[in-house]
Amino acid sequence: MALLLWANWQEPNLHDYSAPISVGALRVAGSLPATEAAKLHTQLIQMPGITACTVQAGAHAVAYTYRPDEITPAQVQQQLAPAFRVQTYEAPAAPVMGPQCPVPQGYIMALEKLRFALNLRRLFIAV
């Protein structure tokens, strides 16, 4: 009973209803005129699994969001390779300062999935 009370105490979060996405970034080698940038944007947005993208022609950069269960950054790079010289861009990670959570992220995600599964309020919410 306590488990059901805990699961139904709050309304479910809206992000629980959507599939997870990740963010990827690419660098385009060479010049990228506006027509090529538009072509790159069109080709990228038509790939299955890509949910959004933006092309910054002046910075030779491409940022996109994708569903990791449908496509990987390596597949994106491979599909764009025949027409564009692209390289995966990864920003250097800043060192972690201060305390960190001692509980592994997998445990926290499992608890969130359990809470969502047992939450009966989600059955009455239209998204």
Say how far residue 102 (Cα) sits from the centre of its chain. 25
At 50, is the secondary structure helix, strand, or coil?
Answer: strand
Q: What is the pLDDT of residue 100?
A: 82
CATH, residue 69: 3.30.70.100
Q: Is 44 exposed, middle or buried (0-12, 13-18, 19+ CB in 10 A)?
A: buried
Q: What is the pLDDT of residue 13?
A: 78
Q: Tokens at residue 28, please?
A: 């385009």
Q: What is the pLDDT of residue 49?
A: 93
The β-bridge partners of 64 are 24, 53
Contacts (Cβ under 8 Å, ≥6 apart) of 3: 118
Overall domain count for the chain = 1
Q: How far apart are the first and last CA of the chain?
A: 27
Q: What is the pLDDT of residue 50?
A: 94
Q: What is the pLDDT of residue 127?
A: 65
Q: What is the pLDDT of residue 1?
A: 84
Amino acid at 117: A
Per-10-residue mean pLDDT for the chain, 127 residues long? 84 79 88 86 93 89 92 89 78 77 89 89 76
Q: What is the pLDDT of residue 5?
A: 84
Q: What is the pLDDT of residue 97?
A: 81
Name the residue range of residue 23's domain: 2-124
